[in-house]
Structure 1
Amino acid sequence: MQVFHWYKVSGLALGAVLFASAPIAAQSAAKAPREKPPIDYSILHAQVILDSLGFSPGIVDGREGQSLTAALKAFQSTRGIQTSGKLDRATLGALHEYRARRPVTRVTLDPAMLQGPYVNPIPKEPEKQAELPSLGYTRPLEKLAEMFHTTPEVLVELNPGGGAIQPGATFVFPNVLPTSRDYAGDLKPEWRQTLTDLNVEARQPTGDHIVVDKSEKVLKVFDADDRLVAQFSATMGSQHDPLPIGAWKINVIDTNPKFHYNPDLFWDAKKDDEKAMLPPGPNGPVGVVWLDLSKEHYGIHGTPEPQNIARTQSHGCIRLTNWDAARLALMVKPGTEAVFQE
């Protein structure tokens, strides 16, 4: 692949930053991560720019993958460039305009960024989850990773060593912070907190209609002139619960939703499972946003497992990362048409 020369992480001693409120091993997942190539800061720079423009590359991790390919194709299509899905010369030229947004940024943590509630461990059984006050983040590192559109493992890579996650500490993150947080005055307080935590910029393009494309594994947002203004990688359907092809509408947008668990609607539910009302939270089955559809029992929603988007199957609904679901909720409104196609 062509080297992406224009990122320049000026003045950042990435290897010298400490990161952990306990040893890193205690903050990371119990399972050892699979071997991956090192972070490529030229790719990271492209991901950050694409994310800021509304063409979500999925997890911002400085590595190639199908979500980045889909994001590049969307960006290329809006710029009249051949849709190669690669960082070719023409695409680099088009991205050059946005090079002022650097790939990483240093951020000093404040108390709000580290505020819980935290729930650890989260039980697997729905009936036990229903007893919890929330399905919040399990630890500060998980919250910070989602806030900056990445994973705990990537944050550890960006900040090797040991240290303390605490107010006043400064660490390196992907530079996905919005340029503005001027939320609409009539935005409900619970929405404002969710969107602030996920660093979603309120002033998003207005979506006239959306298209969920099964073959491309993406959700596309179009304006009233049928121009593509945003795109998100998505998980949609399975052999047991296929994507409901057709034209539907968004009925309700619910942020920080509770989840009605009904085992009768899940082919893989356990025989002894009972109906349960699960509390809200980013680690809930539908994440931080539920966009209810005119197709009964179907919706567009977030997920507690962003690394699996477009790589696994769903029970028929459309899953986005929590940060993309929150962003989509600002682009559309009840009544927006949603077309599902092969």
Structure 2
Amino acid sequence: MQGIPSAEAQSRYDRYPADTILVAPDGAILDYVPDRGDVVISRDGMGRRVFIDRYGNVLATEIRQETYRPARAEEYPPAPGGYRRFRDLGGYQDGYGYQDYRDYRPGEPGSVTGAIPGSGSVTRMPLDEQPMPGADDSYPQEASIEPDQQAIESLHPQKPIIAVTKKPQAEIAALQVFLDREGISPGVIDGHLGENVNKAIAAWQEMTGETLDPNNSEDIMQRLTYSGGLPIIDYTITAADAAGPYVAAIPEDYAHKAQLPAMSYTSVTEKLAEQFHMDENYLKALNPGVDFTIPGTIIKVVNPGQPKAGQVTRIVADKGRKQVFAYGADNQLIAAYPATIGSTDTPSPTGTHTVQRIALDPGYTYNPKINFKQGNNDQILQIPPGPNGPVGKVWIALSKPTYGIHGTPEPSKIGKTNSHGCVRLTNWDATELAKMVKTGAIVEFVE
């Protein structure tokens, strides 16, 4: 009886062309074909079939034998594991369908001063977000989105961007993970196409001088294999994850914010989503029915990159592309981030400035006499630090009074809304930048 599964696998494989093989992301050749009920079968930009498990992991790509060229040993380490069965590649659970995370869908005005420990305080412009003209939170699960050609040509005209064609959510997430690991942030990783992805591809090509075909899933998966492994991995919820501290909700009124012990996360999922650079609803969609409050629970999460290292001497805040570029002393691009930069009513600065102070986990001082009055609050209020604070987890003060580069409590809105003059990044991108830049670094605002 033990020989039946092998023979059965071979008979299934015989239904496919004999001149093709199934190659796992790590280069191993599968010796079987997964049951159709166990996987989602899609096609990449070259028309090849891609086998995806129900967690969104790419298991294998069907490749013609004569075109398959395994990486040479001197180029990459040997692929681990040799032949691997389906459940060894991450497994699945019956009934876990492939879903659009948006099915789980259930402002902070003001001028502020940020309390900087040991550095006094900083005065800021108002921070409330405004939807950009034409901005829409909803976008299709699979879409063909043309890149902004004007932005692309001005950024790197020698390397035209290949438009991303219709792709499964898992493949788009894999592309986002690759860019994140390269230090070219796509913003929140959510498995959806958008301008943040297109801008990241253009920035990656500027940084490397190479051309990236985002529709070549085999190439993306091979790059991922040797930069940290599969884009979706298992994670065990720890006691610390479950314990928090958390707050029940973040109130809108600044007087109520000031009464909180900290501007903490409101849930385990919000905390984990930020930890793994994910959209919170995408995290929930990858783990349907899971109780995230139970330590020891194994969940699926994005496998993002480690923080980029280097010394940033010049920052360019590009208002037109809604993107921040970080350059080293040799004028080479080190990192790039999608950003929310100013608005028509309250524009960001122009010209060249410098970094004046840097604070991690800063407090926030509401002062109605500076720029605005929020609600009925006419007194100065001290809002405690925390990731859900008005400036998130980071404040990089500029020599231009009231302006800075900072984090945000709403990472999914980065690049999709306008700010009141300052430069917003996701908390993780702002933290990465803050650790690479020093006071005195140049900050240029360009149209």
**Shared fold per TM-score greater than 0.5:** yes
Q: Structure 1 stretches of 5 or more lacking a match? A: 19-27, 179-200
Q: Quote how far apart the aligned CAs of 1:122 are.
A: 1.8
Identify which of 180, 185, 191 aligns with 1:62.
191
TM-score relative to the length of structure 1: 0.81
Residue correspondence of structure 1 range 234-253 to structure 2 within 5 A: 234-253=339-358
Alignment match, 1:2? 45
Deviations, residues 67-99 of structure 1 (Å, cap 9, x unaligned)? 11111111112232458xx6255x975884443
> Conserved in 2, the CA contact under 8 Å of 1:240 and 1:267?
no
Q: Percent identity?
A: 36
Residues 40 and 276 of structure 1: CA distance in aligned 2, closer, same or farther (over 3 Å): same
> Conserved in 2, the CA contact under 8 Å of 1:14 and 1:172?
no
Alignment match, 1:37? 141
For residues 15 and 268 of structure 1, the distance between their equivalents in structure 2, rounded to whole angstroms, comes to 52
> Conserved in 2, the CA contact under 8 Å of 1:236 and 1:313?
yes
Alignment match, 2:332? 227
Deviates more, 1:276-285 or 1:91-100: 91-100
Q: Quote how far apart the aligned CAs of 1:313 are.
A: 0.9
Deviations, residues 117-162 of structure 1 (Å, cap 9, x unaligned)? 2111221110111111101001111101111111221011111224
For residues 98 and 13 of structure 1, the distance between their equivalents in structure 2, rounded to whole angstroms, comes to 19
Q: Quote how far apart the aligned CAs of 1:29 are.
A: 5.4
Tell me the SS of whatever aligns to 2:336.
strand
Alignment match, 1:207? 312
For residues 53 and 271 of structure 1, the distance between their equivalents in structure 2, rounded to whole angstroms, comes to 46
What one-letter code is carried by the residue in structure 2 that aligns with 1:118? Y
Identify which of 267, 275, 299 aligns with 2:380.
275
Deviates more, 1:49-58 or 1:153-162: 153-162
Residues 261 and 224 of structure 1: CA distance in aligned 2, closer, same or farther (over 3 Å): same
For residues 202 and 215 of structure 2, the distance between their equivalents in structure 1, rounded to whole angstroms, comes to 11
Q: Is 1:306 matched up with 2:411?
A: yes
Tell me the SS of whatever aligns to 1:330.
helix
Alignment match, 1:74? 203
Residues 172 and 119 of structure 1: CA distance in aligned 2, closer, same or farther (over 3 Å): same
Q: Is 1:124 matched up with 2:202?
A: no
For residues 15 and 34 of structure 1, the distance between their equivalents in structure 2, rounded to whole angstroms, comes to 29
Q: Quote how far apart the aligned CAs of 1:113 are.
A: 3.0
For residues 361 and 262 of structure 2, the distance between their equivalents in structure 1, rounded to whole angstroms, comes to 10
Q: Quote how far apart the aligned CAs of 1:290 are.
A: 0.3
Q: Quote how far apart the aligned CAs of 1:275 are.
A: 2.5
What RMSD over aligned residues (CA atoms) do the two structures have, in Å? 2.7
Deviates more, 1:144-153 or 1:213-222: 144-153
Residue correspondence of structure 1 range 141-290 to structure 2 within 5 A: 141-176=269-304, 178=306, 201=307, 204-266=309-371, 269-270=374-375, 272-290=377-395
Higher strand share: 2
Deviations, residues 188-208 of structure 1 (Å, cap 9, x unaligned)? xxxxxxxxxxxxx3x612212
Residues 163 and 139 of structure 1: CA distance in aligned 2, closer, same or farther (over 3 Å): closer
Deviations, residues 290-339 of structure 1 (Å, cap 9, x unaligned)? 00110101110000011111111111000000111111111111111111
For residues 74 and 236 of structure 1, the distance between their equivalents in structure 2, rounded to whole angstroms, comes to 18
Q: Quote how far apart the aligned CAs of 1:266 are.
A: 4.2
Residues 266 and 240 of structure 1: CA distance in aligned 2, closer, same or farther (over 3 Å): farther
For residues 209 and 59 of structure 1, the distance between their equivalents in structure 2, rounded to whole angstroms, comes to 24
> Conserved in 1, the CA contact under 8 Å of 2:355 and 2:440?
yes
Deviations, residues 8-42 of structure 1 (Å, cap 9, x unaligned)? 24623455599xxxxxxxxx653xx9574176222
What one-letter code is carried by the residue in structure 2 that aligns with 1:8? V
Deviates more, 1:257-266 or 1:167-176: 257-266
Tell me the SS of whatever aligns to 2:315.
strand
> Conserved in 1, the CA contact under 8 Å of 2:396 and 2:404?
yes
For residues 371 and 94 of structure 2, the distance between their equivalents in structure 1, rounded to whole angstroms, comes to 48
For residues 153 and 94 of structure 1, the distance between their equivalents in structure 2, rounded to whole angstroms, comes to 24
For residues 218 and 326 of structure 2, the distance between their equivalents in structure 1, rounded to whole angstroms, comes to 24
Deviations, residues 269-301 of structure 1 (Å, cap 9, x unaligned)? 446543211110111100000001101011100
Alignment match, 1:87? 214
What one-letter code is carried by the residue in structure 1 that aligns with 2:247? V
Identify which of 122, 129, 140 aligns with 2:268.
140
> Conserved in 2, the CA contact under 8 Å of 1:48 and 1:60?
yes
TM-score relative to the length of structure 2: 0.63
Deviations, residues 226-279 of structure 1 (Å, cap 9, x unaligned)? 011100000011122101011111111101100111234445744654321111
Tell me the SS of whatever aligns to 1:334.
strand
Aligned length: 305
Residues 56 and 47 of structure 1: CA distance in aligned 2, closer, same or farther (over 3 Å): same
Alignment match, 2:36? none
Q: Structure 2 stretches of 5 or more lacking a match? A: 1-43, 52-56, 60-85, 97-103, 107-136, 143-167
For residues 329 and 147 of structure 1, the distance between their equivalents in structure 2, rounded to whole angstroms, comes to 17
Largest Rg, 1 or 2: 2
Residues 158 and 257 of structure 1: CA distance in aligned 2, closer, same or farther (over 3 Å): same
Deviates more, 1:97-106 or 1:217-226: 97-106
